[in-house]
Amino acid sequence: MRSYEVMIIVDPDVDDRQVQPLIDAHLKPVTKAGAKVTNLEILGRRRLAYDINKKSEGTYIVVNLDCEPAVVKEFDRRLSIDEKVMRAKVFRPEEVKPSDESEEKTPKAPEAKGSKVS
């Protein structure tokens, strides 16, 4: 299973009380397919950087999933069909790799000739 982060922007015409049931309806088939929702965060209404469908704001939702690639692809497809969803973007968060000790060492600057003190 892979980790995915899905950013969803819902149309501002959708009432704030309807956002949670809307997302739950889209997540139900995903969880039935074996995906695990690790985090669901509704960020609320925010102003868009540019107009989408002649709308200047939208409700932002971030969903973190652990699932197979085919499951998240189907989730993205369902979101793109729904008219209440203005945008949906799927990200694979970068994994933080432990750094080697050799990378942590900084190379020493070469000493200038004749700078030795006896």
Tokens of 40: 């669901």
pLDDT exceeds cutoff 90 at 59: yes
CATH match of 2-94 with 3.30.70.60: yes
The pTM (predicted TM-score) of the whole model is: 0.76
Mean pLDDT of 79-93: 94
What's residue 71's pLDDT? 93
Distance CA 28, CA 35 (A): 10
Confidence class for position 108, pLDDT limits 50, 70, 90: low
Least confident of 64-68, 74-78, 108-112: 108-112
